[in-house]
Structure 1
Amino acid sequence: MTELAYEAAVFDCDGLLLDTARAWARGFDAAAARAGLRLGVREQAELVGSSVASGAGLIAGWAGAPERREELADAVREELSAAIRACPPPVLPGVPALLRRLRGALPMGVASNAPADVLAVMLAGSGLLENFETVVSADRVVRPKPAPDVYLAACRELDARPENVVALEDSAAGALAAQAAGLAVVVVTASGWPALAPLPWPARNRPVLYVTAMGDPAVGQFVRSDVPPARSRPVPAPPPNGRGR
């Protein structure tokens, strides 16, 4: 039997497994409205990958009312939860096939900036929950992404050393978190952020793969290969008007 390159794989959720961009936008818009603001494209882009708490902190800062951070976090959480329940987010293309390929080959987990209750509803409702041995949310750790806490917690619960774990991410905050934790990383995004804000690779000699879709055969090959690639794959040019979360 071929020995796999990694002991475990840890997935982000929002924008990688499930298309939750609209639900998060609704949550942040609700908080901004409560603070008397209207978010523009620049603000929404800055909020991508934020947790409830960190996103509310940004909005409170823009409103010049840092003391309202907790109130605005409640607004984000309430609207996000309502949006998820009203319109369950769809599973993104390529996800089911990749999970089928990896299931049974190595343990898998989720490390997400989403609240625990929302994360549980999304994963259970989508039918994806059964694929994962552990699920770590931002409210279970001290610091959300881009800090490494959720990834380090997931590795502990999977009984795997971070240097022998691969993360799958779509956002800059998430990729930075995985990198800081010492994981190898697959960045799956059609957005242009990797070219606009390149990550400081390689870090701790951990390999990285950039692809524009989870269905790219390179993803499964990277995760299941018996020898990790020595160099990263070039960052793809963003498609016209491409957007990602």
Structure 2
Amino acid sequence: MTKQHTLDPDWAPEAVVFDCDGTLVDSERHWERARGVVLRGFGHAPGPEFAERSKGLHYTECGALMAEVIGRPDCAEELAEQLLAAYRALVARDPSPMSGARELVTVLSRTAPLAVASNCPADLVEFSLESVGLLHHFEHVVVPEGPIRPKPYPDTYAEAVRRLGSNGENALAVEDSVNGLRAAKRAGLRVVGVGARPSPDALDLSSLWVRDLEDPELMAWANGLPPAKRGRSGAAFEPSVPPPGGPPDTDADVLR
């Protein structure tokens, strides 16, 4: 396990807030492909640097970035809508949780109320979580809307913790992107960062960094937490059966 610090074995969070894409759901590959599908439709092939620039962005910001890349700033809204449609099609046909996500979420749900803070639209987050069988564990899904600004602003994390009846200093965030880490840190949460290749900034923002959610030390800490002493703060979502299907083969299949 790569880590800068560690989680206090005597500390038990009152609330836990997860990011969704790349943390709970193996979706970054879908976002990357969706961006490629849309950009190729405009005659542009995105390179690796574009994937890095777009990771963790709100989908409208990603639409604006794609519009900038193709030299068509007037198309930002259209590109954002196409991006969402392509991503939804990919997730529906090939849903997959991140390694260890089901196990960690199940364990932590017995010790504290859970929420999700994401930069994606709420219906898309719920759709993604339901597709991998995780939605029923979460009491709230908080996304940018109204006065709630997207990550890296702290709003989604601060609001999620508030809805769970806690505060930042007594809550834990689990995140994979630098924008998300900054948001959680600014909201006062302790942060577990997750991913194979953390940047220096990511390590600096994290209380703990793990390669994936199966990390033995992280799971040992979670399993050692006491059971929740109070009831859940609200009704959980009810999951439905994940949609069938396999991954689409071509760009045309995605946009169909």
Q: Is contact 1:188-1:211 (8 Å) kept?
A: yes
Using a 3 Å threshold, how does the CA distance of structure 1 residues 21 and 143 change in structure 2: closer, same or farther?
Answer: same
How far 1:68 moved relative to its partner? Answer: 1.8
> Equivalents in 1 of 2:11, 2:79: separation in Å?
45
Residue of structure 2 equivalent to 1:46: 53
1:68 to 71, 75, 88: 75
Match of 2:108 among 102, 106, 124: 102
Q: 1:24 & 1:133 partners in 2: Cα distance?
A: 25
Number of the residue aligned with 1:178: 184
Amino-acid identity (%): 35
| Equivalent residue number for residue 234 of structure 2 | none
How many Å apart are 1:200 and its aligned residue? 4.8
Match of 2:143 in 1: 137
Against the structure 1 CA distance between its residues 159 and 73, is the aligned structure 2 distance closer, same or farther, given a 3 Å change threshold? same
Is residue 113 from structure 1 mapped to residue 119 from structure 2 by the alignment? Answer: yes
1:110 and 1:77 map into 2 onto residues whose CA distance is 19
Aligned to 1:82: 89
Q: Counterpart of 1:234?
A: none
1:125 paired residue number = 131
CA distance in 2, matches of 1:80, 1:20: 9
Change (3 A) 1:216 1:134: same
Instruction: Give the secondary-structure state (helix, strand or coil) at the position aligned to 1:185.
Output: strand
Q: Which amino acid letter does the alignment assign opposite residue 81 of structure 1?
A: R
Does residue 92 of structure 1 match 2:94? no
* Paired AA for residue 215 in structure 1: E
Cα deviation for residue 220 of structure 1 reads 3.8
What is the CA distance between 1:115 and its match in structure 2? 2.1
- What corresponds to 1:233 in structure 2? none
Between 68-77 and 92-101, the greater mean CA deviation after superposition:
92-101
- 2:199 maps to what in 1? 194
Which deviations, in whole Å up to 9, do the C-alpha atoms of 1:93-119 show, x marking residues without a partner? 212221222122111111112222221
Structure 2 vs 1, CA of residues 140 and 111 (structure 1 numbering), >3 Å: closer, same or farther? farther
Q: Which residue of 1 is the match for residue 213 of structure 2?
A: 214
**Deviation at 1:83?**
1.2
Q: Unmatched 5+ residue regions in structure 1?
A: 202-206, 227-245
The answer as to 2:151 corresponding to 1:152 is: no
Is the contact between residue 168 and residue 188 of structure 2 (CA under 8 Å) also seen in structure 1? yes
Higher relative contact order by CA 8 Å / sep ≥ 6: 1 or 2? 2
1:44-78 C-alpha deviation (Å, 9 max, x unpaired): 12111222111111111222322221111111111
Q: What is the distance in 2 between the residues matched to 1:216 and 1:47?
A: 27
Closer, same or farther in 2 for the Cα pair 1:222/1:113, shift >3 Å? farther
Helix, strand or coil for the counterpart of 1:9? strand
SS of equivalent to 2:160:
helix
The answer to whether the aligner puts 1:24 opposite 2:31 as a matched pair is yes
Aligned to 2:15: 8
Runs of 4+ in 1 over 6 A off after TM superposition: none
Q: Which amino acid aligns with 1:19?
A: D
Match of 1:58 in 2: 65
* Alignment length (residue pairs): 217
- Which of 89-98 and 178-187 deviates more? 89-98
Describe the SS at the equivalent of 2:213: coil
What is the SS of the residue equivalent to 1:182?
A: coil
3-state SS in 1 of match to 2:125: helix
